[in-house]
């Protein structure tokens, strides 16, 4: 990771990717997941990433989180006293520890902040009450519904108070009704704290509802096809984007259609 450029002194950019590429090499194959990806994210932005399956969206999040290195290109962060900014990740499968209670899972990230056990319990209890889980503090993950488990995972991420919140299809395994409710709850929590968010999703409508911007990626190796602003006011209501979001939705699908068909390995001909 190189030192941040003067770009970070002139504006409120939190992190920036420049020509970022990632190869996964083995004896059998040399797979390129990302191909020269460049973009930046500003303080407090909610940026969504959409693209075909396998285009490197999750790989991108893991690089930003520091879990894996990029192969080529640069990743710059806003100066943080010579330290990498705190990140937190929320995964599709929740990532909860089955042997820990709801309260223990939610407060896990607070331990790294050096808080006392009583303070961690107090903060986590208050946050879990906010997301409707105050009656389940001593329950274990296997006793909860999918939506409730994801509330715990999101609570843990927000309680860690990260500079960058990375979310990898967190609602992908939920039913349609629960997904809608969770999207609205997520926006309510985000609007209170204004964390910088990079959110991966396959759902175009979800991206329009949640995001300030939408990064549309090509099929593998993932490249940036377009960076689309979502100019709907906040706080955002679903009915505000039902009609007005149609043009954005169609434009994104036009960008993605040929990429998706190509990745499926066949062509479709439309006849009159």
Give me the domains of the chain, ranges plus CATH numbers.
Answer: 1-86+164-176+195-263 (3.40.50.300), 93-161 (no CATH)
Q: Which range (47-51, 81-85, 181-185, 198-202) has the least confidence?
A: 81-85
pLDDT tens digits, residue range 191-207?
888 899 999 999 999 99
The rounded mean pLDDT for the chain is 85
* Dihedral pair phi/psi, residue 36, rounded to 5°: 70, 55
> What residues contact 43, with CB distance under 8 A and at least 6 apart?
12, 13, 14, 78, 196
Percent of the chain clearing pLDDT 90 (strictly above): 39
Question: Between 67 and 7, whose confidence is greater?
Answer: 67
Query: What average pLDDT does this structure show over 57-64?
Result: 92
For residue 111, count other CB atoms closer than 10 A to its CB: 11
């Amino acid at each position: 990771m190189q030192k941040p450029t003067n770009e970070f002194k002139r504006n409120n950019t939190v992190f920036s990717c420049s020509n970022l590429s990632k190869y996964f090499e083995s004896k059998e194959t040399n797979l390129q997941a990302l191909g020269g990806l460049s973009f930046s994210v500003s303080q407090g932005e909610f940026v969504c990433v959409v693209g075909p399956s396998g285009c490197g969206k999750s790989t991108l999040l893991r690089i930003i989180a520091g879990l894996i290195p990029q192969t080529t290109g640069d990743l710059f962060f806003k100066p943080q006293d010579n330290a990498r900014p705190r990140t937190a990740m929320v995964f599709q499968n929740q990532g909860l520890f089955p042997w820990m209670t709801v309260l223990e899972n939610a407060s896990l990230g607070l331990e790294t902040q050096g808080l006392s056990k009583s303070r961690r319990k107090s903060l986590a209890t208050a946050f879990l009450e906010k997301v409707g889980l105050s009656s389940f503090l001593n329950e274990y993950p296997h006793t909860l519904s999918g939506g409730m488990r994801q509330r715990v995972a999101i609570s843990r991420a927000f309680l860690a108070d990260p500079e960058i919140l990375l979310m990898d299809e967190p609602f992908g395994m939920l039913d349609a009704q629960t997904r809608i409710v969770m999207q609205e709850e997520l926006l309510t929590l985000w609007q209170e704290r204004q964390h910088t968010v990079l959110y991966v999703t396959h759902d175009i409508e979800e991206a329009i509802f949640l995001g300030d911007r939408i990064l549309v990626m090509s099929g593998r190796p993932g490249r940036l096809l377009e960076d689309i602003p979502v100019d709907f006011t906040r706080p955002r209501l679903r009915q505000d984007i039902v009609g007005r979001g149609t043009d954005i939705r169609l434009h994104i699908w036009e960008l993605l259609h040929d990429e998706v068909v190509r990745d499926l390995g066949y062509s479709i001909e439309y006849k009159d």
